[in-house]
Amino acid sequence: MNALRLIGILAAKDLRIEYRSRHAFLTTLFFALLILIIFNFAFDPGNQSIKDAAPGILWVSLLFPGVIQLNRSFQSEREEGTLYGLILAPIDRGVLFFGKFLANFFLLALVDLFVLGSFFIFYNLTFSTRLGWLFLLMLLVGIVFSSVGTLFAAMVSSVRARDVLLPILLFPILVPVVIAAVNATREVLGTGELEFFWQWLRLLVASDVVFIAGSFLVFDYVVEE
C-alpha cells in the first residue's frame, strides 16, 4: 500500500484519539499560555526589556510545553502495548515514524497558532505582514522539534522516568535551532530591515532536513527491541 496513505492512517488515528480526550492538546496549550502570562507580569509593561526578552519568551512558551505533547504521544502504545501491534503489521518502521511525527507536528502547530495570537495581545505587538514570517519560523522549528521529539519519545516510552528524561535528552540537541529561532524572531519583531533573517531561516531549513533524516534513520533501531 502507498506509504503516504499509511502515514495518513496512522496520523489520523492519533488525531482521532487526541480529539476524543484532548488531554495533551489542552494541557500543552494551557501551560504555554501560563508561561506567556507569567512573563507578562514579571516584566514592567512598556519597558524596553520586555521587548528585548519577547523572542526568548515566545520560544520558551512554545517548546517547553511541547514536551507534554511529545510525552503523551506514545501513551496508548505504552499502556496497551499497541506498539507491538503496529510493529507486527507488515509496514515499514519509517512509516510508523512519519505517522507519529505528522500527528505531533499538526497538534503542535495548532498550539503555535493559539500561542502566537496570545503573544501579540499580551505583549502589545502590532500585527503586520511579518506575522507570516514568524509563523513560518514556528513551522520550521516545529518540524525539528516534532521529528527529534518523536524519536526520543519512542526511545523513553518504556522508561519509568520518561517525563524527566525526554526534556533532558531533547533540549541540548535543540540548542542551535533555538538560537536560530530566537535571533530570527528578534529581527521579525523589530522594525528594521530583515538583515540576517534569511541566514537564520536557511539554517533552520537545513536543520529540518538533517534532523528529519537522522530521526527517520535511527527510529528503526529504537523500536527494534
Partner 1 sequence: MSSTQVAPLLSISGLTKRFGVVTALWNVDLSILPGDFVAIFGPNGAGKSTLLQLVAQLSKPSEGSIEFPEAADSGREEVGYVSHMSLLYNDLTGFENLVFFARLYGIEKPVERANELLEKMNLKQARNQFAGSYSSGMKQRLKIARAMLHEPRLLLLDEPYAGLDQHGSRLLTGLLKQLREEQRTVLLITHNLGEGLDLSSRIVIMNRGQVVYRAARDDVDETGFESLYFRTVEG
Residues that bind partner 1 (CB under 8 A): 1, 6, 9-10, 13, 16-17, 20-21, 76, 79-82, 84-91, 224-225
Question: Residue 2 CB, nearest distance to partner 1 (Å)?
Answer: 10
Indicate the residue among 2 and 191 with the shorter CB distance to partner 1: 2
Please give the C-alpha separations between residue 32 and each of 27, 117, 135, 163, 205, in angstroms, as whole numbers: 9, 12, 16, 17, 25
Question: Residue 152 CB, nearest distance to partner 1 (Å)?
Answer: 22
Indicate the residue among 11 and 177 with the shorter CB distance to partner 1: 11
Which amino acid, residue 25? F
Place of cell 534569511: 198
Q: Residue 157 and residue 165: Cα distance in Å, rounded?
A: 10
Sign of the Cα torsion 56, 62, 63, 67 reads: positive
Question: Residue 76 CB, nearest distance to partner 1 (Å)?
Answer: 5
Question: Residue 9 CB, nearest distance to partner 1 (Å)?
Answer: 5
Question: Residue 133 CB, nearest distance to partner 1 (Å)?
Answer: 37
Look at residues 90, 104, 72 and name the one whose alpha carbon lies nearest to residue 215. 104
Indicate the residue among 23 and 130 with the shorter CB distance to partner 1: 23
Indicate the residue among 157 and 207 with the shorter CB distance to partner 1: 157
Question: Residue 186 CB, nearest distance to partner 1 (Å)?
Answer: 41
Indicate the residue among 21 and 124 with the shorter CB distance to partner 1: 21
Indicate the residue among 13 and 130 with the shorter CB distance to partner 1: 13
Question: Residue 172 CB, nearest distance to partner 1 (Å)?
Answer: 28
Q: Which three cell numbers stand for residue 155?
A: 526511545
Dihedral, CA of residue 26, residue 109, residue 203 and residue 178, to nearest 10 = -10
Indicate the residue among 54 and 86 with the shorter CB distance to partner 1: 86
| Polymer length in residues for the chain | 225
SS (H, E, C) 141-209: HHHHHHHHHHHHHHHHCCCCCHHHHHHHHHHHHHHHHHHHHHHHHHHHHCCCCCCCHHHHHHHHHHHHH
